[in-house]
Structure 1
Amino acid sequence: MNDNAITDDEGMEKVVSTIKSTRIAMLTHTDRQGRLISHPMATQDVEFDGTVRFITERNSEKVADLTANPQVNIAYSGSGSWVSLSGTARIENDVEKIKELWSTFTDAWMEGGPENPNNVLIVVDGDTAEYWDAPGGSKVTQVAALVKALAGRKRPEGDQGTVSL
């Protein structure tokens, strides 16, 4: 693997592509007892510009935890690619943005529609994103690359890097 072969723009493209193609992410934060907690969350805004948005309930434990300690990590796992986004979360009560992002998928999980005062946004402003991208994309290609790497005692080929947001 040659980290230096990828430009910052190409790395950002890989990050954006993985986030856009992976609707469910794992949001990891620290609870008020200091334990790491992860929640599956549906990414609401896929026009990634360094900020990620999730709709959640104001009265949830995760909102209380994020208010006390806003440092988070969001993990995306796509078809042969992965992104780990580190950033700072904040809670926003933006009814217009919630209306804009609301979908039938959101409606299945959240009560009362976008006007429900208990529905709020978790907005994560990313600091850095690490990405890994396996060659070929298909599982068969990835397994073949892994077997080939094991036989030659070399790391599998692919791209990886860190992007500042």
Structure 2
Amino acid sequence: MTDKDPRTKVTDLIKGIRTAMVTTTTSGGELHSRPLATQDVDFDGDVYFIVERDSSVVTDVAAHPRVNVAYAGDSSWVSLSGTARVLDDHAKLAELWNTFTDAWMQGGPEDPRNVLLHVSAESAEYWDSPGAKVVQLANLVKSKVTGRRVEGDSGTVEL
């Protein structure tokens, strides 16, 4: 376990991972995951994505607003559980729009087809393995030799 505040730990882990897998429930009850780029990296329990109004994620959230947002980095993972909603906030959309978004979305922030998907996270779980890949490999070998588990950091945070 770390001495760092758990919310700060989650923030730091998310900031290092650009794309999240957002899982929704379809109208037929199936789980559907898709990659979305996180737009707001100052994590305070709220995460924003820019999506198209006629996309499946918008349809799914309208029927079933409970979602999971999963981040996977080289040596860390975060799973957020929360409630999503679609926002028609043109000022926030313009604020979050960037060159990366421009490469994937058409029409810019003024286009009425582009909206925000706002996820209000209620809890987060995280796992963090120490060090770079070389350190992780060394820890794996050490674990096999000593019979002890690889050391890491994990926790659950209520938001």
Matched, 1:152 2:133: no
SS of aligned partner of 2:141: helix
Q: Which residue of 2 aligns with 1:45?
A: 40
Report how far residue 80 of structure 1 moved: 1.2
The 5-angstrom pairing of residues 4-153 of structure 1 reads 5-6=1-2, 10-136=5-131, 138-153=132-147
Q: Show CA shifts across 1:73-132 (max 9, x none).
A: 111112311111111000101111000000111111111110111111100000111011
Report how far residue 32 of structure 1 moved: 1.3
Larger deviation, residues 78-87 vs 125-134: 78-87
SS of aligned partner of 1:130: strand
- 4+ long deviations beyond 6 Å: none
| TM-score, length-scaled by structure 1 | 0.91
2: CA distance, partners of 1:11 / 1:145: 24
1: CA distance, partners of 2:146 / 2:24: 39
Segments of 5+ residues of structure 1 without an aligned counterpart are none
2: CA distance, partners of 1:39 / 1:159: 27
Q: Percent identity?
A: 56
* C-alpha contact 1:130 1:160 (8 A) present in aligned 2: yes
- Select the residue among 131, 156, 159 that pairs with 1:162: 156
| TM-score, length-scaled by structure 2 | 0.95
What letter corresponds to residue 154 of structure 1 in structure 2?
R
Report how far residue 155 of structure 1 moved: 1.8
2: CA distance, partners of 1:121 / 1:43: 11
2: CA distance, partners of 1:48 / 1:164: 13
Report the number of matched residues. 159
1: CA distance, partners of 2:50 / 2:44: 18
* C-alpha contact 1:18 1:77 (8 A) present in aligned 2: no
